[in-house]
Amino acid sequence: MAEPRILSGELRLAGRLDARFFALLEAVAATGSISRGASTAGYSYKGAWLLLETAANLSHEALLTRSTGGRGGGGSQLTLAGQALLDAWKQLQRAHTDFLHEQEAWITAQPALAGTLRRIAMKTSARNQFSGTIDAIQSGPVTTEVRLALRGGQAITVALSSSAALQLDLQQGQEALAMVKASSVVLVGDFAGYKLSASNQLAGSISRIARGAVSSLIGLTLPGGVVITASVTNDAVEAMSLSIGQAASAVFKSSAVMLAVAG
């Protein structure tokens, strides 16, 4: 599987003419019809007309010529100005693509920077995503326990099947990502002398309370600056009298953590 691109950029001319506009222009040129060109480029007929008309008005030159009736039934063709605009776009697009490839090669040659960008680029529904280094692996016949060291001295314990650990080819010293859903995190303000069975109990201070209609997202800043988010019902927020700066702990099971490593 090819690695995802870590550098991208959208080319726009005059701040509004993008790839979709030029796809429409090219489709009209190829089909000789605004209607067919609009369908090819994914526009409604009215939407295509408005876009082309606005561009022509602002350029002070017609981009299309239209003919009606006749044996061919009429149609639309690009004017010289329209063709020149399309040709300029194609040339700039090639140069833009070459530039992105060149800069991505430069980034890839710097492993630390490339690794950081790839971690940031990963998209998941888990609100909590932490980068760390595997500093311990305890393998069992069914389950493998992995310890992921975070910055600031904190660590997360991950429990996964031994078959999954084997498939990931986990190694000590390897960089990895830990992902935890906010709904899997229990916020504890006071243990009241009790000990909990959850492997992960991370102490910090509340730094954010984002209240919603039913629940709130509570941000807990750990030593070293790592922030873990817990989803807490509004009733619980009021019952616990949660406030900014209050000491608390984020508690979650090791089985609630998903581990990811570079493929």
b/e 45-70 (16+ beta carbons within 10 angstroms → b): eeebeebbeebbeeeeeebbeeeeee
CB 184 within 8 A of CB 253: yes
User: What pLDDT shows up at residue 124?
Assistant: 56
* pTM (global) more than 0.85: no
Q: Which of 221, 217, 182 is nearest to 203 (CA)?
A: 221
pLDDT tens profile 174-231: 888 888 999 999 999 999 999 999 999 999 999 999 999 999 999 999 988 889 999 9
pLDDT in tens, the chain (263 residues): 345 567 778 888 887 889 999 999 999 999 989 889 999 988 898 888 888 888 877 777 788 887 765 454 468 889 898 899 999 999 999 999 899 888 888 887 877 776 666 655 555 557 888 888 999 999 999 999 999 998 778 899 999 999 999 999 999 998 888 889 999 999 999 999 999 999 999 999 999 999 999 999 999 999 888 899 999 999 999 999 999 999 999 999 999 999 988 76
DSSP-assigned letters across all residues of the chain: -PPPPS------BTTTB-HHHHHHHHHHHHHS-HHHHHHHHT--HHHHHHHHHHHHHHHTS-SEEEEESTTTTEEEEE-HHHHHHHHHHHHHHHHHHHHHHHHHHHHHTSHHHHHHHHHHH---S-SEEEEEEEEEEEE-SSEEEEEEEPTTS-EEEEEEEHHHHHHHT--TT-EEEEEE-GGGPEEES--TT-----SEEEEEEEEEEEE-SSEEEEEEEPTTS-EEEEEEEHHHHHHTT--TT-EEEEEE-GGG-EEE---
pLDDT at 151: 78
- Residue keyed to tokens 């609100």: 127
On the 0-12 / 13-18 / 19+ scale of CB atoms within 10 A, 262 is: exposed
User: What is the pLDDT at residue 1?
Assistant: 39
pLDDT given at position 5 = 65
- What is the rounded CA–CA span in Å between residue 178 and residue 128? 8
Residue 74 confidence (pLDDT): 60
Where do we find the tokens 């950029």?
9
What structural domains does the chain harbor?
19-108 (1.10.10.10), 122-260 (2.40.50.100)
How many beta carbons lie within 10 A of that of residue 72, not counting itself?
A: 8
Determine the pLDDT at residue 72. 46
Which residues share a beta bridge with 202? 250
> Which pLDDT belongs to residue 68?
65
CA separation for the pair 195, 210 (Å, rounded): 29
Selection from 166, 198, 171 nearest residue 185 by Cα: 198
Which residue has tokens 């971690």?
A: 119
Residues 75, 76, 77: CA angle, nearest 5 degrees: 130
- Residue 116 vs residues 24, 128, 175: alpha-carbon distances, Å: 37, 16, 11
Q: How far apart are CA 72 and CA 207, in angstroms?
A: 70
